[in-house]
Amino acid sequence: MGTTIKARLGVIATASALVVTGLLAAGPTASAAVLTQATPATAASDSCGYYSGTALTVRGNTGPRVHEIQCLLNSYSGYPVALDEDSNFGPNTESGVRWLQSCAHITVDGKVGVNTWNALRNSSC
């Protein structure tokens, strides 16, 4: 007797690092979401536009290289902390770099060299 309302969903579930799309049916006999696709979330972008090189960047550095690192780390749905994008490579940025290095299975040293830049721009952590 009742009408069924269907709405398209496009939901990013950051807590579980899944991208979910599907249909939501609402009405007297149906009120459930149908999962049609689930894929691991990845970095939102391979560049934030602050820096495009691969120069060694370490704690204590400042400027556009650091801003790029912070922005890229913030683009990961799996990274649990939002970094201040203040262009200062301090302890929180170093912690984020170590998290990414561990996740990407590369040397964990807190320094952003060629391998870490590649992981920042291409990893699916």
Tens of pLDDT, residue by residue over 17-63, are 333 333 334 444 443 333 323 233 344 468 999 999 999 999 999 99
Give the pTM: 0.65
As given in the structure block, the two tokens for residue 52 are 């495009």
As given in the structure block, the two tokens for residue 29 are 């006999």
112 inside domain: yes
Please indicate, yes or no, whether residues 68 and 34 belong to a single structural domain of this protein: no
Question: Cα–Cα distances in Å, from 44 out to 31, 48, 119?
Answer: 31, 9, 13
Q: What is the rounded (10 degree) CA torsion for 45, 50, 51, 55? A: -110
- Domain range for 21: 5-40
Convert the pLDDT of each residue in 85-116 to its tens digit: 999 999 999 999 999 999 999 999 999 999 99
Residue 45 pLDDT: 61
Report the chain's terminal Cα–Cα distance, integer Å: 48
Strands (E) located in 54-121: none
55 inside domain: no
Cα distance between residue 86 and residue 75, in whole Å: 15
116 inside domain: yes
57 inside domain: no
88 inside domain: yes
What is the number of structural domains in the chain?
2
72 inside domain: yes
Residue 15 pLDDT: 32
